[in-house]
């Protein structure tokens, strides 16, 4: 009887296939966030930890090529280590990679980070007002979204650590006069949370024009953050955002999207 054991070559090929699939998902998140208007002037970036390693996939500095992120592709995504060293890819990683990496170093639960400059959420930082858990999509931001009072680029490890300290164990952080950082336990969940942050900020702004802002009750926050409701918070909306991808093609992609969205731990 012949026993077939996986060879080193086979294992390496499997790993490369998995990394290519991950790279494809990171590229897609950029297209979706662009189409959804989450980064005016198309600036921003998404990262993803390669499972079982200290390597991270992140956007190459394609802004310098004058490109729009609406057509981010797999070869625009490069590999760095957790210290920010460029390991692989055709173009240098974005300068602000330390924002992603220092948060990931401190938070094993975080496997993906979105950095963006959405209008409403950024405006709250400018005004020094915290975004609160309000509306249907705000519970994950309880008790409030911290603000980092620092307005420079996060292009050094020291500045990355400032973001790490400011975000703590929160889902999101607002960088004053700059933008936001949003965390997730998958690329898709970080993308969803980035949209939820902007939707929540917009709703809080509108509510504040009408009267005093009232937060979601603690009991409701707890309920949304628990079990099936937490899973639903993410998985029930992915189909909506996935369709923003200009390269979206149903139904095959829809099926694979569904398989990729995993509930948070
Ligand atoms: Zn930025």
The owner of tokens 């090929």 is 13
Q: CB-hemisphere CA count at 13 Å for 201?
A: 29
Report the SS3 class of residue 196: helix
179 CA distance to ligand 1 middle (Å): 6
CB 91, CB 23: distance < 8 Å: no
pLDDT for the residue 67: 87
7 CA distance to ligand 1 middle (Å): 43
Q: Beta strand 179-184 with 112-116: parallel, antiparallel or unpaired?
A: antiparallel
In the chain, which residues have pLDDT < 70? 1-6, 40-42, 250-265
151 CA distance to ligand 1 middle (Å): 10
Name beta bridge partners: 172: 182
135 CA distance to ligand 1 middle (Å): 27
pLDDT for the residue 3: 59
CB 187, CB 29: distance < 8 Å: yes
199 CA distance to ligand 1 middle (Å): 19
212 CA distance to ligand 1 middle (Å): 31
pLDDT for the residue 131: 98
pLDDT for the residue 264: 63
44 CA distance to ligand 1 middle (Å): 6
Sign of CA dihedral 16, 235, 213, 220: negative
Q: CB-hemisphere CA count at 13 Å for 249?
A: 2
Q: Which residues surround ligand 1, an ion (CB under 5 A)?
A: 179
49 CA distance to ligand 1 middle (Å): 20
237 CA distance to ligand 1 middle (Å): 26
214 CA distance to ligand 1 middle (Å): 30
The Cα–Cα gap between 180 and 133 comes to: 16
Q: Beta strand 172-175 with 147-148: parallel, antiparallel or unpaired?
A: parallel
Could you please report the per-residue DSSP string of 141-184? G-S---EE---S---SHHHHHHHHHHHTT-SEEEETTTEEEEEE
**How many other C-beta atoms can be found within 10 angstroms of the C-beta atom of residue 209?**
6
Tokens encoding 4: 């077939």
Question: Cα dihedral angle (10, 12, 15, 17), rounded to 10 degrees?
Answer: -70
222 CA distance to ligand 1 middle (Å): 32
The model's pTM: 0.90
In b/e form, how buried is each residue of 156-174, taking b as 16+ CB within 10 angstroms? eeebbbbbbebbeebbbbb
Name beta bridge partners: 58: 47, 78
Question: For 173-203, what is each residue's pLDDT tens digit?
Answer: 999 999 999 999 999 999 999 999 999 999 9
pLDDT for the residue 63: 85
């Amino acid at each position: 009887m012949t026993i077939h054991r996986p060879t080193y070559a086979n294992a390496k090929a499997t790993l490369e296939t998995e990394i290519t699939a991950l790279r494809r998902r990171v590229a897609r998140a950029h297209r979706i966030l662009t189409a959804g208007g989450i980064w005016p002037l198309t600036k921003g970036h998404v990262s993803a930890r390669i499972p079982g390693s200290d390597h991270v996939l992140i956007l190459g500095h394609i802004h310098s090529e004058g490109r729009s992120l609406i057509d981010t592709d797999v070869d625009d995504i490069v590999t760095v280590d957790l210290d920010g060293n460029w390991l692989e890819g055709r173009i240098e990683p974005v300068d602000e990679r330390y924002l992603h990496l220092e948060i990931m170093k401190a938070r094993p639960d975080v496997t993906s980070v979105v950095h963006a400059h959405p209008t409403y959420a950024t405006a709250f930082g400018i005004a020094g007002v915290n975004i609160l858990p309000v509306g249907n999509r705000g519970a994950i931001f309880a008790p409030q979204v911290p603000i980092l009072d620092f307005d420079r680029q996060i292009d050094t490890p020291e500045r990355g650590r400032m973001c790490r300290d400011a975000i703590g164990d929160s889902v999101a952080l607002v960088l004053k006069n700059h933008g936001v950082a949003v965390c997730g336990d998958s690329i898709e969940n970080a993308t969803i949370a980035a949209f939820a942050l902007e939707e929540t900020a917009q709703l809080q702004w509108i509510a504040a024009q009408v009267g005093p802002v009232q937060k979601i009750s603690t009991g409701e926050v707890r309920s949304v953050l628990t079990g099936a409701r937490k899973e639903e918070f993410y998985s029930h909306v992915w189909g909506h955002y996935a369709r923003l991808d200009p390269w979206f093609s149903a139904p095959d992609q829809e099926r694979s999207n569904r398989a990729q969205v995993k509930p948070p731990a």
